[in-house]
Amino acid sequence: MTQPRRPQTRPMTQRQCLFVTEYLVDFNAKQAAIRAGYPPASAANRGYELLHFCAPVMQRVEAALAERERRTLVAADRVLKEIARIAFSDIRRYVVDRPDGLVTVRPLASLSADDAAAVAEIRGGGRTSGPRGVKLHDKQAALELLARHLGLVGKRRDSPPPLRGGDVGDAREILRQRLMRYAAEAASETEALVALPARADS
């Protein structure tokens, strides 16, 4: 029977420092271990050990996540928020029914920052070009990205071994909570807008 690895107390090695850097990119322990230079065949187990038995690595990851939480313009956070903006976009927030029966696009200036971020293209808009059209970014693709991060679909083949009982504070859970917060905010905004009657442009 394999004896559990004893917790590491010596300072981090250069490879362990690189592992922490790579792990903070996508929170995938196996791929982070491979990118840090560990053998692919044992990368999943090595990544798990570093995150749960290597005190210096655990402390460095925890400190980095705490610092990321304090910053407001972190690249990873901005990417996740942009994905959430697209995933929870609603076409009803972009168009208005006119008295003559036509449907037109609301002026860009009237859109919120979240709604404007989901717009891929505005078509037409000239006086003689007829009603304008709006094209949003791929909502389905954005939803699939969020679903994968939340673990709602499939199982990533390159995921690290499942966590054993008693493990808490995993970085993936922090990411999950952040995405759920974005989803709740977007859903709340949608419900408030649907409750308001459509307003025709003057």
Question: What are the tens digits of pLDDT across the range 144-157?
Answer: 888 887 767 655 44
Number of domains comprising the chain: 2
Do residues 89 and 182 share a domain?
yes
| 199 pLDDT above the threshold of 60 | no
Domain residues for 56? 7-70
What value does the mean pLDDT of the chain take?
75
Do residues 76 and 66 share a domain?
no
Do residues 22 and 101 share a domain?
no
The pTM (predicted TM-score) of the whole model is 0.40
Residue 160's closest CA among 7, 50, 76? 50
| 91 pLDDT above the threshold of 90 | no
Do residues 66 and 77 share a domain?
no
Do residues 28 and 96 share a domain?
no
User: Which residues make Cβ contacts (< 8 Å) with residue 97, sequence separation at least 6?
Assistant: 103, 198, 200
Do residues 43 and 101 share a domain?
no
Instruction: Provide the pairing of β-strand 119-123 with 133-136.
Output: antiparallel
pLDDT digits (tens, 9 = 90+) for 8-34: 667 889 999 999 999 999 899 999 999
Check residue 173 and give its pLDDT: 60
Do residues 27 and 101 share a domain?
no
The CATH number of whichever domain residue 65 belongs to comes to 1.10.10.1400
Do residues 77 and 137 share a domain?
yes
| 38 pLDDT above the threshold of 90 | yes
